[in-house]
Amino acid sequence: MDWTALRNEFPVTRRWKFFDHAAVAPLTARAQKALVDWAADIAKNGLVHEKQWLQRVEETRGLAAKLIGADPLDIAFIKNTSEGIGIVAEGFRWKAGDNMVTAAEEYPANIYPWMNLRDRGVEVRRVPSQGNRLEIADLRAAMDNRTRLVSLSSVEFSSGFRNDLTTVGSLCRERGAYFFVDAIQSLGVMPLDVRQTPIDFLAADGHKWMLGPEGAGFFFIRRELIDLLHPVGIGWNSVQGARDSARIDFQLKPHAGRWESGTLNVAGITALGASLGLLHQIGLEEVGDRVEQLTDYLCEQTQRKGLGVFSSRRHADKSGIVSLVVSGAEPQCIKRSCREAGVIINHRAGRVRVSPHCYNTHEEIDELLALLQEGSQGR
């Protein structure tokens, strides 16, 4: 793969060294064009070409399904990860005394929807990490015969720890619990196949590693579990024959489409599809290998310069997120000084967070490391 040529697909490279894909990623040139094309067409023609744009939505559904090895009918478009989590949290048929298990260090989107169930008698059990890792044994110990569901991120947003989804999913099967995955910090750079990994529900917005705009993501549910959830957020588009507005016939779609309650974010979904098309064109394994190479290089050079790597870099644990310990300066000050120098990073939990994508280069990492070293020396 000619990674240098690929940089032409990313307008952000003309001004910035961008290492913050774990927050909000820059759009690809293809996604930008899709948004502009949609806006121009709607401005000039209104809904005359609606069929064409709805076809683009279905093409994106296919690309999203391909990303995780799913059937397109098991994919519903959502506006963000929180919406997908809410579909399960609010729709699950809980009983007072039930509990669910999650990680203590989860992003709030994967904590608050479950905490909101306290009035229904559902206990939230938050399992703390041991240093930079979430241990399977600790998850197992938190579960009992009233554990109905485990919800984890594929990659923890602060530490960059990559959860072993296969092992956790298998544990849930053994205990008779369901498994929800917040996949926003991995989809686009880490291959996932729900035919092989025992995941029951999954949600992810597209504005991080999938390089799409905010407000366009997708939700996955195993077909056999459709009736397990009470349908929430139902609207005109949730039923079979949704386009026949003159007929009222409350027959919900027998697949994930029942949760697409109304008019979709056609522009955002189309733009997401453009970026997914690029990622599939490169090849997800190639993308993942490239990100691993870049983060390995970052960690090796960081340690050579006397700086600290907090993230676990065991082969099975590592991800596109690297959490660094830079002594001698506050992380927010380092973030600010890097931005002034044209380098975009972030900070979480009192540490510097670096999250490169496949189009970044070793030379950009060298420039970042020079800035971090300056920051650690108080210059």
Q: Which CATH number fits domain 3-26+283-376: 3.20.190.10, 3.40.50.720, 3.90.1150.10, 3.90.1170.50?
A: 3.90.1150.10
Q: What is the mean pLDDT of residues 201-212?
A: 98
Domains of the chain: which residue ranges? 3-26+283-376, 32-280
Q: What pLDDT score was predicted for residue 378?
A: 62
Mean of all residue pLDDT scores within the chain: 97
Share of the chain above pLDDT 90, in %: 97
Q: Identify the burial level of 44 via C-beta atoms within 10 angstroms of its C-beta, where 0-12 means exposed, 13-18 middle and 19 or more buried.
A: exposed
Residue 339 pLDDT class (50, 70, 90 cuts): very high
Report how many helices (DSSP H) and strands (DSSP E) the chain contains, helices first.
11, 13
Chain segment 220-245, per-residue pLDDT in tens: 999 999 999 999 999 999 999 999 99
Residue 327 pLDDT class (50, 70, 90 cuts): confident
Classify 32-280 by CATH class. alpha beta
Q: Identify the burial level of 315 via C-beta atoms within 10 angstroms of its C-beta, where 0-12 means exposed, 13-18 middle and 19 or more buried.
A: exposed
Q: What is the mean pLDDT of residues 91-110?
A: 98
Residue 140 pLDDT class (50, 70, 90 cuts): very high
State yes or no: pLDDT of 89 exceeds 80.
yes
Share of the chain above pLDDT 70, in %: 99
Residue 122 pLDDT class (50, 70, 90 cuts): very high
State yes or no: pLDDT of 379 exceeds 70.
no
Q: What pLDDT score was predicted for residue 261?
A: 97
Q: What is the mean pLDDT of residues 93-106?
A: 98
Task: Show the tokens assigned to 229.
Answer: 């959830």
Q: What angle do CA 202, 180, 160 make, to 5 degrees?
A: 85
Q: What is the mean pLDDT of residues 301-321?
A: 96
State yes or no: pLDDT of 84 exceeds 80.
yes
Task: Show the tokens assigned to 192.
Answer: 């996932």
Q: What pLDDT score was predicted for residue 23?
A: 98
